[in-house]
Amino acid sequence: MPDLVIRSHHIATMSGETGYGLVDGWLAVSGGRILAVEPGEPPEAWLESSSGVTCVDARDRVVLPGYVDAHTHLVHAGSREDELAMKLEGVPYLDILARGGGIHGTVRRTREATESELYRKAEGSLDRMLMHGTTTAEAKSGYGLDLETEVKCLRVVQALDRSHPVDLVSTYLGAHAVPSGFRGNTRGYMDFMISTVMPQVRAEGLAEFIDVFCEEGVFSPDETRVLLEAGRKAGFGLKLHADEIVPLGGAELAAEFGAVSADHLLAASDAGIEALARAGVTAVLLPGTSFYLMTGRFARARRMIDAGVRVAVATDFNPGTCPCESLQAIQVFACMGLRMTPAEILRGMTIHAAHAIRRQHVIGSIEPGKWADLVLHDAPNPDWLVYHFGSNTVDRVYKKGQAVVSDGRRISS
């Protein structure tokens, strides 16, 4: 006997290789997991009030798997609206960084913040994610760069994963920038990460992945190679900020190392795209960031999809290039900027995103055995979710079968 049955004309299961895997019927949940998804009417006995089954009539709702945000810089202090004027004058992102702004400014503030201040700020962001339909997110460190602050931020991720309905998957991104204390001594900073930080992060179980910002003026492909090698040896899964601004062969590198994902990829070469397809690396595209960088450039999603690359779409939530927690807000940029179809986008934010964080067996689609992470959207059909923009469509969110958002508001369960 299930605990919960939801009826809907539009259950976008995301099963199968393409499209929504639409079911006009019902789904049943037991013990937090999907028990069945079937067309037609649920068994009559379950609809009786005496059956003990909670029946939800969502026939005027679209049911989607909870969104999976596969790329976020969740934990940080402060914000960077003070850089907007510079951006509007046309100062490029990498110039702001080279002047000691950008990431470096956020690092200064994050080092000064206490663990509980960081926790409270990130918790607010997680609440916004959840209210916009995200039930699992990846979270990177990378605004501490020193041992103490990186560990502090990763502990915040760990604590929030335990206390907040949104599940978190954590990534050590010490290789986000070379900190001021190591300026001109990138190798010294790399040695520090490899011999001091990675072992401690591993020993405390604070991160599943490592990531490297492989970019001109940040970490070169040769340096990235050394870091990926060390991360792999230490037992981490691999992710890469690849070919975001300057084409450096980041996609090729991600493929060579069998990374779980290669992210950004605006400047990825044809050979890099082919290599991602061959190696089965998930491309995580971040069109909100492309929009916010104001360069008019977007990743070549169509070429990637045609080449057979699995494409996920994420927010890149961070205080510099995408101060936005809502995957719904990103959909319009994925459609108009990346030219992805609504079905490609919604798969990119569910099942493909689950692949990008190695959770494809437990979340990302509505299939028997997976967690019942479900979102009821106030929309006439799934395409409409991408087509209409600027307002929140989430009516109700279930995390592992428990209602955690109702009437668009967070409730405690």
In the complex, the residues that contact ligand IZC under the rule CB under 6 A are: 73, 102-103, 106, 213, 241, 318-321
CA-nearest of 122, 32, 59 to 395 is 59
User: C-alpha angle 355/361/367, rounded to 5°?
Assistant: 110
Number of residues that bind Zn ion (CB under 5 A): 1
**Residue 291 interacts with, from ligand IZC, Zn ion, none (CB under 5-8 Å by kind):** none
**Complex with ligand IZC: residue 244 or 252, whichever CB lies closer:** 244
Q: State phi, psi for 255 to the nearest 5 degrees.
A: -65, -45
**Complex with ligand IZC: residue 26 or 143, whichever CB lies closer:** 143
**Complex with ligand IZC: residue 102 or 249, whichever CB lies closer:** 102
**Residue 125 interacts with, from ligand IZC, Zn ion, none (CB under 5-8 Å by kind):** none
Spatial separation of the C-alpha atoms in residues 360 and 364, rounded to whole Å: 6
Spatial separation of the C-alpha atoms in residues 350 and 332, rounded to whole Å: 16
**Residue 26 interacts with, from ligand IZC, Zn ion, none (CB under 5-8 Å by kind):** none
DSSP structure string for 36-52 = EEEESPPPHHHHSGGG-
Query: What's the min distance (Å) between Cβ of 166 and ligand IZC?
Result: 20
Query: CB under 5 A: which stretch of 155-163, 310-318, 325-333, 357-365 binds Zn ion?
Result: 310-318
- Can you name the residues that pair with 23 across neighbouring β-strands? 11
Spatial separation of the C-alpha atoms in residues 255 and 263, rounded to whole Å: 12
**Residue 364 interacts with, from Zn ion, ligand IZC, none (CB under 5-8 Å by kind):** none
Residues near 99 by beta carbon (within 8 Å), at least 6 away in sequence: none
Spatial separation of the C-alpha atoms in residues 195 and 207, rounded to whole Å: 16
Query: What's the min distance (Å) between Cβ of 142 and Zn ion?
Result: 8
The letter for the amino acid at 20 is Y
Spatial separation of the C-alpha atoms in residues 220 and 137, rounded to whole Å: 28
Query: What's the min distance (Å) between Cβ of 273 and ligand IZC?
Result: 20
**Complex with Zn ion: residue 92 or 408, whichever CB lies closer:** 92
Query: What's the min distance (Å) between Cβ of 156 and ligand IZC?
Result: 17
**Residue 174 interacts with, from ligand IZC, Zn ion, none (CB under 5-8 Å by kind):** none
Interface residues with Zn ion (CB under 5 A)? 316
